[in-house]
Structure 1
Amino acid sequence: MMHRWVATMTAPIFFIAAHCSILFAAFTRSMLETTEYGHWEPVCLSMGIELFLLLLLLLGFRKAGNKDYADLFLPLGKWISAALIVPLAGFILLIPILALRYFAELMIIVFIARSPLHVILAVLCLLMFFGASIGPQGIMRASTLLTLINFPVLLFAVFACFQNAKFVRVYPLINPSMDFLSNSTFLITLFSICPFLLLGMLPPVCKVKIRPILISFILISLLHVVVLYIPIVIYDLNAAKIMNFPLMTSFDSVNITWTVFNRISLFYAVALLAFVMTLSSFSMWSSALLIRKIIPAWRETYIRICLSLIVFLISFIIPSWNDYIRVFAADTWFRLLIYAVIPTAVFLRGRSIAAQERKRVLSE
């Protein structure tokens, strides 16, 4: 019974961990820019978009059987499969590039202000490479363990912030104009929904059931709203919008003397490191596997080494935080294209496979 529960909950727990690595990083700063009040509205819309794409993806994989993206698309032919898999592998590789560069910046602020950026990035990329090398089963086990340990730590840090909160700052709650729809920043914030795409690499690794994923999605959605409003209720919107790290600054404002570390931001940074490394390792493994299945002659270990070097070099050549923000916004249309094409292709391919299977059964 316990083994069955663990097998069922592995994918939802990973889904939560993948979202936390982005949600507790750059999400808050980007979403604060979308509107002047009623910030729960763009959050709910982005969650609605993710829910639709998530259901489209999961229904397609349920019809297709125990397959990942490569196994699903390769039978379509060389050119069609490459047109789908190569951009997807590139998009998945963007996740560790942006995540590690963000966390390196955060480490300089919180932990090691005098350490060179390239040293921090080299250590993070090395950890990511070794994490990816243990394989998907090892990553899933590590994800489950680290999430069970660190998710309560993050929740503790979140609720500790409310001792400095003034909840009157959330008003007005409703924005009837919904002006965020005309703000291009809203499209940039949709990077936060990208973890749903990683579920497409899990069917051969562990069970991906729709109901547990949807239950975890409810928790993730609530957490998006809570995390977004923390800097607002502590600093007010105008002050929070000018901060590069509004969430970390909110955690840093809390001083609880009875804890081992009197800076709550240390709890936040340590927990975020676990989530970022889990997400980056799995993304690295996924990208390497997709490339190897397209080009079977290449060894997966060498692919991971090359991809780790690419992650390091691209992360390192982003010289400043302002440049990071520009890079973050530059791939918006590529990201939206991936969101539109991949779930649709998976759903249609799943329906096609299910129809072929029905015809085979009837013919027998």
Structure 2
Amino acid sequence: MNPRWISSLTIPLFFLGTHFSIIFLLYPRALLHTTQYGHWEPAVINMLIELVLLVILLHGLKKGGHQDFADLFLPLGRWISTPLLLPLILYILLIAIMVLRGFAELMIIVFVARSPLYAILALLCLITLLGSSIGSQGIMRASTLFSLLHIPALLFALFACINNSKLLNIFPVVNPTMDFLQHGKLLVSLFSICPFLLLGMLPPVCKIRIKPILMTMLPLSALYVYIVYIPILVYGVNAAVLMNFPLVTSIDSVNITWSIFNRVSLFYAVALLAFILIISSFSQWASAVLIHKMVPRWKESYIRPCLSLIIYTAALMIPNWDWYVDIYTVDTWFRMIIFVSIPVAVYIRGQFIQKQARKQVVQNDS
């Protein structure tokens, strides 16, 4: 695969796809609980926060010579690298656990109402294990293919909801008090920006260009706002806030007679499955790589099945949807620490590496 083509197209599509796996599954419900009206305001704030953290991370990776998290932190010694890498590994695994468990719940609703949860999770974890075994380049190729195939179907399902929309439900549009800043519910919804961390594992695979990544933030921001307002426009705020899956419920209400499928939500669910498998496979591969670099005597081929078993067991131990919601609420502060500390640490480390490289050049010239 041509490296220039990877950096110009594949990485932005991967960045979009990993966000799709999070925001289409969990984000509308979380953001609907942040405020009673003016939901575009917390959505825009979420994207601004991600933009700041993303710029810090990307500039740190660039200054650090395009190395991944492990290569940047491990030379600092065990006492510094372990407190940075171990929580990061746990959080990356948590991403896989939450998206697989959340999608398994969605599959029961949309596809297979009578299938047991353990069987669905076993199938998803097996596919994820196979996906992580093909390596990062294979996952990136699959991400590009899935994006080109499924993004049009996903957009079709989203825009089909316009048929059932009532424009009056959007009012009031502005929340001048911005009271959502006074409590922690806005922080809870920030789980949606977690895919930006995964970019820190790509530099050894391919060079990340900052401009294409930042350009993807424009359509992504518009999509963040649009998917939150779909259930509001279809059902109204008071009804939408009571739903566990407000977006898929809104899509499921659409009836298009000329469609080859009876339910438009099938487009949504199939497309979402592709992006779920991408982020889960990449998360498992990234965790295995980080663990292997921390403990070189452990082989990646042994680490991946162990991680897959951990993901399956942890996901199966979540008994119901209320527990699921509680988990991504309780881990808010752990998540925020990761979001802030890792980009800042990467930037500081990258700054140091850049200064050392400049000193070396000056010494060689003299």
**TM-score of the aligned structures, taking structure 2 as reference length:** 0.98
Displacement, 1:262?
2.2
Displacement, 1:163?
0.8
The DSSP-based 3-state class of the residue aligned with 2:274 is: helix
Q: Residue by residue, what CA displacement relative to the aligned partner does 1:5-58 show, whole Å, maximum 9, x if unpaired?
A: 444211111000000000100000000000010000001111110000000000
Contact 2:7–2:208 (Cα < 8 Å) also in 1:
no
The 5 A counterparts of 1:1-364 are: 4-364=4-364
Displacement, 1:2?
8.2
Contact 2:6–2:206 (Cα < 8 Å) also in 1:
no
Displacement, 1:186?
1.1
CA distance 1:3–1:317, shift in 2 (3 Å): closer
Q: Residue by residue, what CA displacement relative to the aligned partner does 1:226-263 show, whole Å, maximum 9, x if unpaired?
A: 01100000000000000111000000000112111121
CA distance 1:91–1:218, shift in 2 (3 Å): same
- d(CA) in 2 for partners of 1:217 and 1:73? 28
Aligned residues: 364
- d(CA) in 1 for partners of 2:206 and 2:99? 25
CA distance 1:85–1:113, shift in 2 (3 Å): same
The DSSP-based 3-state class of the residue aligned with 1:144 is: helix
Contact 1:11–1:207 (Cα < 8 Å) also in 2:
no
CA distance 1:70–1:6, shift in 2 (3 Å): closer
Amino acid aligned to 2:242: I
Q: Residue by residue, what CA displacement relative to the aligned partner does 1:93-148 show, whole Å, maximum 9, x if unpaired?
A: 00010000000000000010000000000000000000000000000000000011
Q: Residue by residue, what CA displacement relative to the aligned partner does 1:278-305 show, whole Å, maximum 9, x if unpaired?
A: 0000000001100110000001111111
Amino acid aligned to 2:85: I
Amino acid aligned to 1:137: Q
Could you tell which deviates more after superposition, 353-362 or 251-260? Answer: 251-260
Q: Residue by residue, what CA displacement relative to the aligned partner does 1:292-327 show, whole Å, maximum 9, x if unpaired?
A: 100000011111111111100110011111111111
Segments of 4+ in structure 1 off by > 2 A? 1-7
Q: Residue by residue, what CA displacement relative to the aligned partner does 1:330-349 show, whole Å, maximum 9, x if unpaired?
A: 11110000011000000000
Displacement, 1:82?
0.9
The DSSP-based 3-state class of the residue aligned with 2:25 is: helix
- d(CA) in 1 for partners of 2:182 and 2:113? 39
Could you tell which deviates more after superposition, 320-329 or 28-37? Answer: 320-329
Contact 1:165–1:234 (Cα < 8 Å) also in 2:
yes
- d(CA) in 2 for partners of 1:138 and 1:5? 15
- d(CA) in 2 for partners of 1:102 and 1:293? 30
Amino acid aligned to 1:126: L
Contact 1:60–1:349 (Cα < 8 Å) also in 2:
yes
- d(CA) in 2 for partners of 1:182 and 1:233? 26
Amino acid aligned to 2:148: L
- d(CA) in 1 for partners of 2:76 and 2:339? 20
Amino acid aligned to 1:43: A
Displacement, 1:4?
3.2
The DSSP-based 3-state class of the residue aligned with 1:195 is: helix
- d(CA) in 2 for partners of 1:69 and 1:185? 30
Amino acid aligned to 1:194: C
- d(CA) in 2 for partners of 1:4 and 1:48? 28
Gaps of 5+ in 1: none
The DSSP-based 3-state class of the residue aligned with 2:255 is: coil
Gaps of 5+ in 2: none
Contact 1:10–1:206 (Cα < 8 Å) also in 2:
no
The DSSP-based 3-state class of the residue aligned with 1:85 is: helix
Displacement, 1:3?
7.0
The DSSP-based 3-state class of the residue aligned with 1:255 is: coil
- d(CA) in 2 for partners of 1:55 and 1:316? 36
- d(CA) in 2 for partners of 1:71 and 1:260? 50
The DSSP-based 3-state class of the residue aligned with 2:244 is: coil
